[in-house]
A = this chain, B = another copy of it.
Amino acid sequence: MAKAKIAVNGYGTIGKRVADAVKAQDDMEIIGVSKTRPNYEAIVAQQLGYDIYAPAANLEAFEKAGVPTAGTIEEMVEKADLVVDCTPGGVGEQNKPMYEKAGVKAIWQGGESHPIAGFSFNAVCNYEQAIGRDLVRVVSCNTTALCRVIFPIDKELGVKKVRAILARRAADPNDVKKGPINAIVPDPAKLPSHHGPDVRSVLPNINITSAALKIPTTLMHVHTVNMELNTNCTAEDVKNILGSQSRIHFVGQGISSTAEIIEFARDIGRPRNDMWENCIWPESVTVTENELYFFQAVHQESIVVPENVDAIRAMMELESDGAKSIEKTNKALGL
C-alpha cells in the first residue's frame, strides 16, 4: 500500500515534532513542511531532509538566506493527502479554505475551536469515530491529558464530576518573549477556564469544571485532578486502571518535580526530551469519600504528537482498530 502523503503546515513547537513522528511510521510519509521565515527552525528542517515550502511572498527571503524551498504552501497542500495544521492558534482557521480548495483532509490543533472540524479527537476516547473523516481537531495538551485519565476511569468506575486545577507553564522553553517571570497569573481570572470544559468536545457526557494559573516555568504543566466517582474503590484500583494505559506513566524513584521528569526524558534519549505520556505521581493517587485526587504533569510540547499520528491513521483509514493504531504509533516512537 502506498504511504499516506502528509504535509505539516507550520513547523514550530508541535509541527516539527509531528513531522518527525510521522516520519517514524511505516504507513505514512512527510511530503513537505512549511515555514514562514527562514529562521533556525527552517535550517533544522533542511538538515533533517524535509522539503520546505513557504508563502509565495517570502520565497525570495528563503533563497537569500540560503534555505532552498520546494515551492509555495499552496503547492505543498496540492501534493498532500492530508495536512496537519500546526500554525499558531487562530491562524489555522484562515487556512481552511485553502485545504477545501485543494480537496485535502486536514487536522487542526487545540488552539482552534471545536467547530473548525466539527470533531475533536483523542485516540483512546474516539479513534473509531474519526475513521475516514476529512476534518479533525486534535485537542490541546491539557485536554488530551485530561481525556486520557477521565475516559478509562469513567469506563471502569463512572465519573460523576471532575474538578481540574491547572498550573500552566508560562511559555515554552524557546519562547523568550512571554512572562511572568515572578508572579502567578489567574488565567483567566473569570471562572471556569476553558480547559476542563474543552474535554466535553471529546467526552460530551462528562461534568467538569476547571481553573488555571499561569506560573513562571517552561517545562511542563501540572494538573491537580479531583474526580467524584460513582463506584466505591481504592487508590490501588485507580492505579491499576491508569497503569493499563500505554500513554500514562507513573513517575517515582525520587522524581519530585517536573524538572526531574524532563531530566529522565533526556537521560533515556527521548527526542527533544519529549514526554508523550501523562506523568502521574503514584503517591498522589488518593481516594477519600468516593473522591479521587492525583497530580499529573503534562509535557505541553509533545503530549499531542502521538495523537496526531493516530488521527492521521484513522482519517486515512490505515487502521480500523484504535488500540492497534496506538500500539503501532507507540512502537514506532519508542514509547
Contacts and interface: CB of A to CB of B under 8 A. Distances in A.
Nearest to A170: B216
Interface residues of A, number: 41
B215 A180 contact: no
A167 B294 CA distance: 15
Contacts of A293: 191-192, 209, 211
A221 B180 CA distance: 15
Contacts of A215: 167, 184, 215-217
B283 A184 contact: no
A222 B259 contact: no
A184 B224 contact: no
Given A213-B222, A224-B213, A294 B191 contact: yes
Nearest to A215: B215
A288 interface: yes
A129 interface: no
Contact of A182 (B180, B182, B219): B219
Given A184-B217, A191-B293, A293-B211, A163 B284 contact: no
A35 to B, nearest CB: 28
Interface string A138-172: 00000000000000000000000001010100000
A184 B222 contact: yes
Interface string A199-237: 000000000010101011111111010100000000000
A186 interface: yes
A176 interface: no
B288 A186 contact: no
A272 B258 CA distance: 33
Given A211-B224, A259-B180, A286 B186 contact: no
A189 B297 CA distance: 12
Nearest to A263: B183
A264 interface: no
A165 to B, nearest CB: 4
Contact of A217 (B183, B209, B221): B183
A87 to B, nearest CB: 27
Given A163-B163, A224-B211, A182 B259 contact: yes
A183 B286 contact: no
Q: Which 3 A-B pairs have the closest CB atoms?
A: A183-B259, A185-B257, A165-B165
